[in-house]
């Protein structure tokens, strides 16, 4: 398999895993298996009568085989991704001089995967603590971004006419990353329906009170740091903040697209389409009361928008010792 094909497979697999993770979370299957790495003490979810009986005796509570299989499928697919990334990183280490890649950048995806596995374990053991689940989401997005950056570094052709777009790309990336964090916080706190109208939130323009309480990372799911239940106003404050972030992303990423309309018209068009589609999915999720398909698609849209921005940024000439360094097509050798 050519290294470029392997790259595409790994990136697509990571994107699919992110969307599957969103499905697990939104389908309330995050605790479909209350232990880790197995499921009720076995390698597969219990679905036979004797397996369910044993699981109830050992763990207690109601056993949902479907949620167990959803969670275990996510874990097995994540395990396959780990193997694929290991193969990719090994191949890149052998070709790093050809692609002018630092060793730390090649090893970084493996480190992210190890940390992701720990976050997956903590997600279960800490009973879906919002800060941990959000970090798990960010870990998946980080892995995807690093893989796309490596792909762009290996196969993208930097362009000197994009040198003045660096601040715009950085601002757009920062805005999208913050918005992904806010979106993750909405999802992990199950605040997607806290504002069930649009463009207002609970019939008002200004946010409800409760920002500081709702944003505290050191609390359990559905409770504040003192153990009291969160109110609908707390959840609405989280949702409202995500909407505000969407406005900023629309302005900044839209500004970047305008900046790129002459130098890279097709890239600018793709960026605008991904941006508007993501905004539309966000609005439809509110108006349609958060259907599972649209909610998962909204997560995928955020990942795709991040990929587009990361790849575009990799085409911007790198700064080396205060100078712009561009790689001409002639410098890129043919690859196996």
CB burial of residue 183 (10 Å; 0-12, 13-18, 19+)? buried
Contact 128, 188 (CB under 8 A): yes
Where in the chain does DSSP place strands (E)?
A: 318-320, 323-325
**Range 123-154 burial, b when 16+ CB lie within 10 A, else e:** bbeeebbbbbbbbbbbbbbbbbbbbbbbbbbb
Which DSSP symbol is given to 330? G
DSSP string, 198-266: SSSBTTBSSPPS-HHHHH-SSS-TTB-TTSPBPPHHHHHHHHHHHHHHHHHHHHHHHHHHHHTTTTSHH
Residue whose structure tokens are 């690859």: 335
Catalytic status, residue 51: no
First-to-last C-alpha distance (Å) of the chain: 8
Q: 186, 192 in Cβ contact below 8 A?
A: yes
Following DSSP, what letter does each residue of 156-201 receive, concatenated? Answer: ----GGGGGGHHHHHHHHHHHHHHHHHHHHHHHTT-TTSS-SSSSB
Angle at 299 between CA 77 and CA 3, to 5 degrees: 50
Compute how many other C-beta atoms are within 10 angstroms of the C-beta atom of residue 301: 20
Of the residues 71, 209, 228, 330, only one is catalytic, namely: 71
233 φ/ψ angles, rounded to the nearest 5 degrees? -65, -40
**Residues known to be catalytic:** 71
């Amino acid at each position: 398999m050519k290294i470029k094909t392997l790259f595409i497979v790994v990136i697509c697999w990571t994107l699919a895993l992110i969307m599957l993770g969103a499905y697990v979370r939104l389908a309330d299957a995050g605790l479909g298996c209350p232990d880790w790495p197995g499921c009720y003490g076995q390698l597969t979810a219990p679905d036979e009568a004797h397996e369910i009986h044993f699981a109830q005796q050992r763990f207690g509570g109601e056993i949902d085989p479907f949620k167990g299989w959803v969670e275990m499928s996510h874990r097995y697919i994540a395990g396959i991704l780990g193997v694929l990334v290991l193969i990719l990183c090994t191949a890149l280490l052998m070709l790093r001089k050809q692609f002018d890649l630092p060793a730390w950048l090649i090893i970084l995806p493996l480190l992210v995967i190890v940390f992701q596995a720990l976050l997956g374990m903590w997600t279960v053991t800490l009973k879906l603590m919002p800060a941990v689940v959000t970090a798990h989401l960010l870990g998946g997005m980080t892995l995807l971004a690093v893989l796309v950056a490596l792909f762009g570094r290996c196969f993208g052709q930097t362009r000197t006419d994009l040198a003045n777009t660096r601040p715009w790309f950085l601002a757009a990336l920062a805005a999208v990353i913050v918005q992904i964090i806010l979106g993750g916080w909405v999802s992990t706190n199950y605040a997607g329906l806290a504002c069930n109208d649009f463009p207002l939130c609970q019939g008002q323009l200004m946010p409800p009170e409760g920002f500081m309480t709702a944003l505290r990372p050191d609390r359990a799911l559905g409770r504040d740091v003192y153990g009291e239940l969160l109110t609908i106003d707390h959840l609405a404050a989280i949702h409202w903040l995500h909407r505000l972030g969407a406005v900023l992303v629309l302005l900044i990423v839209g500004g970047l697209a305008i900046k790129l309309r002459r130098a890279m018209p097709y890239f600018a068009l793709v960026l605008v389409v991904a941006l508007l589609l993501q905004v539309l999915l966000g609005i439809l999720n509110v108006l349609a009361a958060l259907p599972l398909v649209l909610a998962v698609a909204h997560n995928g849209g955020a990942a795709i928008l991040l990929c587009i921005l990361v790849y575009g940024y990799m085409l911007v000439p790198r700064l080396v010792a205060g100078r712009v360094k561009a790689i001409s097509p002639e410098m890129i050798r043919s690859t196996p």
